[in-house]
């Protein structure tokens, strides 16, 4: 089991976001599906300890994640947020920064290729990229850390159909080429079906129908 | 050689006309500072009058302990005032208190050790007041900016943390910008000093009848001391306060409701 969540409760600003949430996520590709505000993004943030639950337990590969060093966990379980938020500078400087954190040798050309961008993007200023290019740069940056799991928060929500299809192809190739596990948050059940082997549905902070087990 | 000048109360009262101008501009331009201007004016009258008596007492008693007590009170009120300007920084008081105490101690310690001023109330009280006052302003500006920057950059900070960066690495760009904004006013005014404006000490000395040479030299010493203290204050305030935005697990805390 990649992740296991037991009786997880989260409140934000006094409002319950996840309530008595139970789920198991196997290695491979898992989609988390649900309407806006159902707690999908919060769930993703729990998996690499960008947030901690108020109650309940979460384990990663059988070990409680609360016992793991959060920095090392995040380099192994990399989260790509919904909206691109790159550091000022070039595409390459972002990739080098991420690789450096994980103690990896940066290979910008390879990361860009895996994320579906040409090597010519390396020297570009991130402020001059389109949203789709920024999203791919976010992905390239995460890949520079050679993570074992990618947590993807609505990776195609800001993109048109063509760009969405291209990102989906890229993610499929990543799985095949690198064997990375994916946890994908999406509000689109069709995308979940196309891209994952198991689906967890969330409604109002609770897992419904089988929770991917 | 100083021909001490005497200032009548009516002259002080007449200068309040300029305060009325400031309040009128604020009201006209809806800057929403009228209340602050009135409070600042009343506080300045009360505080300066009280400090005048306190300084007279301290000069008469001539005790270093009384000087230190007065500076400690200044540091305390400076931290409380700066906290009011840095409301978006969680628990800003303790970082500010530490900042002002260290900035004052380091700067005054250095000017005494270097032999620039004697460790007597006559020098330590006014110079300490200027150092603490300028450090307070710089810290308040820096932390105000820090709070705004964190609010504006939450997505970027979290995205950086998500890569396994430490809170320090994620906050470094905004800590730098905040430090810069705390220091820039004094750096700019030092650049233009004498050209566009005459600094307060020099004006005061000239009005009090000192020679221009002495006035200039003392002003330079004070400007350089203030530059040092403001840099120390900005550095400490930003580097202590950014931590309050993060949990020990290197998570960005939720925004206050």
User: So where are chain B's domains?
Assistant: 1-61, 63-245
Given phi > 0 = left and psi -120 to 50 = alpha, else beta, which region is A13? left
Residues 6 or more apart whose Cβ sits within 8 Å of residue A190: none
Indicate which of B164, B249, B255 best probes the interface with A, i.e. most A CBs within 10 Å of its own CB.
B164
Q: How confident is the model at residue B228 (pLDDT cuts 50, 70, 90)?
A: very high
Tokens 């005061």 belong to which residue? B204
Given an 8 Å threshold on Cβ–Cβ distance, is B251 in contact with A52? Answer: yes
| pTM of the predicted model as reported, rounded to 2 decimal places | 0.84
The mean of the pLDDT values for chain B is: 92
Task: Tell me the shortest Cα–Cα distance from B163 to chain A, in angstroms.
Answer: 6
Question: What confidence score (pLDDT) does residue B202 get?
Answer: 85
Residue of A14, A51, A101 with shortest CB distance to B163: A101
**Tell me: the pLDDT tens digits for A48-101?**
999 999 999 999 999 999 999 999 999 999 999 988 899 999 999 999 999 999
pLDDT band at A132 (very low <50, low <70, confident <90, very high): confident
- pLDDT bin (cut points 50, 70, 90) of residue B205 is confident
Residues B164, A74 contacting (CB under 8 angstroms): yes
Domains plus CATH for chain A?
Answer: 3-208 (3.40.50.300)
Long-range contact pairs involving B50-55 (C-beta distance under 8 Å, separation at least 24): B51/B129, B55/B121, B55/B125
Closest CB from B155, B159, B166 relative to A71: B166
State the smallest CA–CA distance between residue A36 and chain B in angstroms: 18
Query: Min CA distance, A169 vs chain B (Å)?
Result: 23
Residues sharing a CB contact under 8 Å with residue B201, sequence separation 6 or more, in sequence order: B130, B215, B218, B219, B222
Q: Which of B163, B166, B250 to mutate to test the interface with A (most CBs of A within 10 A)?
A: B163
Average pLDDT value for residue range B52-66: 89
**Residue A127: pLDDT above 80?**
yes
* pLDDT tens figures, B91-140: 999 999 999 999 999 999 999 999 999 999 989 998 999 999 999 999 99
Which token pair is A117? Answer: 């961008």
Is the model's pLDDT at A187 over the cut of 90?
Answer: no
Strand segments, DSSP code E, in B122-238 are none
pLDDT of residue B1: 42
Which of A27-31, B2-6, B28-32, B164-168 has the lowest average pLDDT? B2-6
User: Which helix H or strand E contains A199, and what residues bound it?
Assistant: strand A198-203
Q: Which of B140, B148, B137, B151 is nearest to B86 (CA)?
A: B140
- The percent of residues above 90 in pLDDT, for chain B, comes to 72
CB distance A70–B250 less than 8 Å? yes
Q: Give percent above pLDDT 90 in chain A.
A: 66
| Least confident interval from B15-19, B56-60, B103-107, B249-253 | B56-60
**8 Å CB contact between A40 and A17:** no
d(CA B228, CA A202): 56
Predicted pLDDT at B3 = 54
| CB-based contact, A114 to chain B, within 8 Å | no
């Amino acid at each position: 089991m990649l992740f296991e969540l037991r009786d997880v409760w989260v409140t934000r600003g006094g409002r319950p976001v996840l309530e008595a949430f139970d789920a198991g996520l196997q290695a491979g590709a898992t989609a988390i599906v649900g309407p806006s505000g159902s707690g999908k993004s919060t769930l993703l943030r729990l998996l690499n300890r960008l947030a901690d639950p108020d109650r309940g337990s979460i384990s990663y590969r059988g070990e409680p994640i609360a016992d793991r060093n959060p920095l090392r966990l995040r380099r192994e379980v990399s989260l790509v947020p919904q909206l691109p938020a790159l550091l000022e500078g070039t595409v390459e400087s972002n990739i080098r920064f991420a690789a450096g954190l994980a103690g990896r040798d940066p290979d910008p050309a390879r990361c860009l290729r895996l994320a579906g961008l040409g090597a010519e993007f390396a020297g570009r200023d991130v402020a001059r990229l389109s949203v789709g290019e920024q999203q791919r740069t976010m992905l390239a940056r995460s890949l520079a850390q050679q993570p074992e799991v990618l947590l993807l928060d609505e990776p195609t929500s800001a993109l048109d159909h063509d760009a969405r299809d291209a990102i989906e192809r890229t993610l499929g190739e990543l799985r095949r080429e690198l064997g990375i596990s994916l946890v994908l948050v999406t509000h689109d059940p069709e995308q979940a079906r196309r891209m994952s082997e198991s689906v967890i549905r969330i409604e109002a902070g609770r897992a419904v129908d089988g929770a991917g087990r | 050689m100083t021909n001490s000048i005497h200032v009548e109360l009516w002259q002080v009262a007449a200068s309040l006309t300029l305060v009325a101008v400031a309040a009128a501009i604020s009201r006209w331009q809806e800057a929403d500072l009228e209340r602050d201007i009135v409070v600042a004016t009343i506080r300045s009258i009360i505080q300066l009058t009280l400090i005048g008596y306190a300084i007279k007492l301290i000069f008469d008693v001539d005790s270093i302990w009384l000087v230190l007590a007065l500076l400690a009170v200044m540091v305390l009120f400076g931290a409380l005032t700066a906290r009011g300007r840095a409301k978006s920084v969680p628990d800003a008081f303790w970082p500010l208190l530490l900042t002002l105490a260290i900035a004052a101690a380091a700067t005054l310690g250095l000017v005494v050790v270097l032999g620039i001023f004697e460790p007597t109330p006559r020098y330590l009280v006014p110079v300490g007041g200027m150092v603490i006052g300028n450090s307070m302003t710089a810290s308040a500006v820096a932390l105000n900016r820090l709070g705004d920057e964190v609010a504006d950059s939450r997505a970027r900070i979290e995205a950086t943390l998500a890569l396994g960066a430490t809170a320090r690495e994620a906050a470094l760009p905004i800590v730098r910008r905040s430090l810069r904004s705390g220091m820039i006013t004094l750096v700019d005014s030092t650049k233009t000093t004498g050209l566009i404006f005459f600094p307060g000490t020099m004006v005061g000395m000239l009005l009090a009848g000192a020679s221009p040479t002495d006035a200039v030299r003392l002003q330079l010493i004070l400007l350089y001391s203030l530059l040092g203290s403001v840099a120390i204050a900005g550095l400490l305030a930003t580097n202590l306060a950014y931590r309050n935005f993060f949990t020990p697990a290197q998570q960005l805390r939720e925004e206050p409701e």
